[in-house]
Amino acid sequence: MSKTFMGVRLRRLREERGLTQTAVARALDISNSYLSQIEQNQRPLTVPLLLKLNAVFGVDVQFFSEDEEGRLISDVRDALADGGDEPISTVELRELALNMPAVGRALVSLHRKARQSAERAEIMALRLGEDAAREAPARMPFEQVRDFFYARRNHVAELDEAAERLYAAAGLAPRQIRPGLAAWLAEKHGVRVIFDETDEAQRRYDGPNRTLYVSAFSKQGRQAFQMALQLAFLEAGDLIESLIDAALLEERETRDLLRIGLAQYFAGALLLPYGDFLRQAEVYGYDIDRLGRHFGVGFETVCHRLSTLQRPGALGVPFFFVRVDRAGNISKRQSATDFHFSRVGGSCPLWNVYEAFVQPGRVLTQMAQMPDGRTYLWIARTVGSPGPVYGAPGKTFAIGLGCDIRHAERLVYSQGLNLSDQAAATPIGAGCKICERPACPQRAFPFIGRALQIDMDRSASTPYPTAAAT
């Protein structure tokens, strides 16, 4: 652990609990002056003190995690990218996230409310004269669902625990899970599973006849996932509804999307039970292909599950998972760690997830460094399926799985890489519009902050801004 200055967070924790410096210093067995120096960021928060805080006050160590700082930096950067009078540097953003995190979160909240108002105004303008009284949703439904998982670090403990109990009760085992699920559906729910060759749908449930139709053309891992998905509604339906209610979501479309997302989470947790999967991941050095063969599932399923291993006391490597298509559209994005890629500004063409399309089926690795100096190890590979019939288009995606470089030694993908050589890392960004790198050969748009500064400078020297200024 490097020197970590967390004085503001420690002071905020003390004030929230109504404790004096003397009381905290006595509990940590340090002097008042030492505690005061820590709170003033004159001395770092050491590992022994962090452990004492956890033992004495029950403080989650994630409260003092630099990952939380990185997540807030990314969110504030996105919030400020929409406008402002001057560019904000990464150094200033980090200072805000480290010393005034509550202010940073308030800025993010204000930005979201402003964007909601703009969306309402736009939709009301389009509907004027038809149904002007009808309000638009506060945020797009998929954004609300994404934020639900983001706030939980992509880990839903209640569903993980329920899935592990069902895995044990049904006597399931790796590579034998498909027949085990079919037997459990029949025995406990009276549901018959039919592998259908006539329907193009992956899964179709006929409730009145208690029949589950699963595509016969899918791979066995995908067929098992569809059966597990049906069990999510049959076995964990009440639990899923309670999670949705606790999220205080009102829009029906948002609740429906979250219901599907939680059911899919349960299905993945049932195929890859947390404890067994984490143990095997550590044994295999997080080798995605070996894990897929061991559990009988595909590359994407393994990657998605790896991004959820954040159980307190049994943490896996905190991964960031993303799925993109050839056009750069991000169709899946899950994060168990700090989130650097922009929600609104696109992504970086130098990122190896796009190189994967040039070398389909091959696992690519990349050491990549963000503008703030943080370095990551990325693994990327294409996945897909052919069209159902001749002439029909198939599906092809690139999967990206990344982690902070400090965790890279635990991965087989770090073999042959000099992890300490910062010069070997590819400089990438969070998207051209919010990336500060001035000399990037792949830049497609000017950095918004730089464009604003140019506009301000030229406006100050000439009464009429030129076209180049915009």
Domains and CATH numbers, the chain: 7-102 (1.10.260.40), 138-271 (1.10.10.2910)
Q: How far apart are CA 24 and CA 10, in angstroms?
A: 10
Q: How far apart are CA 265 and CA 160, in angstroms?
A: 8
CB atoms within 10 A of CB 42: 11
Instruction: Give the strand pairing for 375-385 and 395-404.
Output: antiparallel
Mark 116-130 as b/e (b = at least 16 C-beta within 10 Å): eeeeeeebeeeeeee
**Amino acid at the residue 400:** G
pLDDT at 460: 43
Confidence (pTM): 0.71
3-class DSSP string for 21-61: HHHHHHHHCCCHHHHHHHHCCCCCCCHHHHHHHHHHHCCCH
* Contacts of residue 237, Cβ cutoff 8 Å, sequence gap at least 6: none
Exposure of 288 in the CB half-sphere (CA atoms within 13 A): 27
| Contact in structure between 323 and 398 (CB atoms under 8 Å) | yes
Per-residue pLDDT of the chain (470 residues; tens, 9 = 90+): 445 566 777 777 787 778 888 888 888 888 888 888 887 777 877 778 878 877 777 766 565 565 566 677 777 877 776 665 566 777 777 777 766 777 878 888 787 777 767 656 655 554 454 444 344 445 678 878 888 888 888 999 999 999 999 999 999 999 889 999 999 999 999 999 999 887 667 899 999 999 999 998 888 999 999 999 999 999 999 999 999 999 988 888 999 999 999 999 999 999 999 999 999 999 999 999 999 999 999 999 999 999 999 999 999 999 999 999 998 888 888 887 665 555 544 578 899 999 999 999 999 999 999 888 889 999 999 998 887 777 888 889 999 999 999 999 999 999 999 999 988 999 988 777 777 787 888 887 776 555 444 444 444 443 333 333 32
pLDDT at 446: 73
